[in-house]
Homo-oligomer: A and B are copies of this chain.
Amino acid sequence: MRVLVLGGDGFCGWPTSLYLSDRGHDVTILDNLSRRNIDNELEVQSLTPIRPVGERLRAWHEVSGKQIGFVNLDLAAEYDRLVRVLEDLRPEAIVHFAEQRAAPYSMRSVPAKRYTVDNNVRATHNLLVALVETGIDAALAHLGTMGVYGYGWSGSAPIPEGYLTVKVPTPDGDLEREILHPANPGSVYHMTKTLDQLMFAFYAKNDGLRITDLHQGIVWGTQTDQTVRDERLINRFDYDGDYGTVLNRFLMQAAIGHPLTVHGSGGQTRAFIHIRDTARCIEIAITNPPLAGSAVMVLNQITETHRVADLAKMVSEITGAEIANLPNPRREADENDLVVRNDQFLALGLNPTTLSNGLLEEVTEVAGKYKHRADPTKIIARSVWRKGMETAEDLITELPAADN
Partner-B contacts on A (CB < 8 A):
79, 110, 113-114, 117-118, 121-122, 125-126, 129, 133, 153-157, 164-172, 174-175, 177, 179-180, 182-183, 185, 188, 191, 194-195, 198-199, 201-202, 206-207, 331, 385-386
Contact = CB atoms under 8 A, between A and B. Distances in A.
A78 B269 CA distance: 41
Contacts of A177: 153-154, 166, 182
Residue from A121, A155, A171, A198 whose CB has the most chain B CB atoms within 10 Å: A198
Contacts of A167: 166-167, 169, 174
A344 to B, nearest CB: 19
Contacts of A164: 168
B129 A125 contact: no
Given A121-B121, A177-B182, 20 more contacts: A79-B114, A118-B121, A118-B125, A153-B177, A154-B170, A154-B177, A156-B171, A157-B170, A157-B175, A165-B169, A166-B166, A167-B169, A179-B182, A183-B201, A185-B198, A185-B202, A191-B202, A195-B198, A195-B199, A207-B386
Contacts of A114: 79, 125-126, 129
Given A110-B129, A125-B117, A167-B166, A175 B154 contact: yes
A208 to B, nearest CB: 8
A119 to B, nearest CB: 11
Contact of A133 (B110, B125, B331): B110
Contacts of A165: 169
A135 to B, nearest CB: 8
A165 B182 CA distance: 12
A304 B118 CA distance: 37
Contact of A199 (B156, B191, B202, B207): B191
Given A182-B180, A195-B198, A156 B169 contact: no
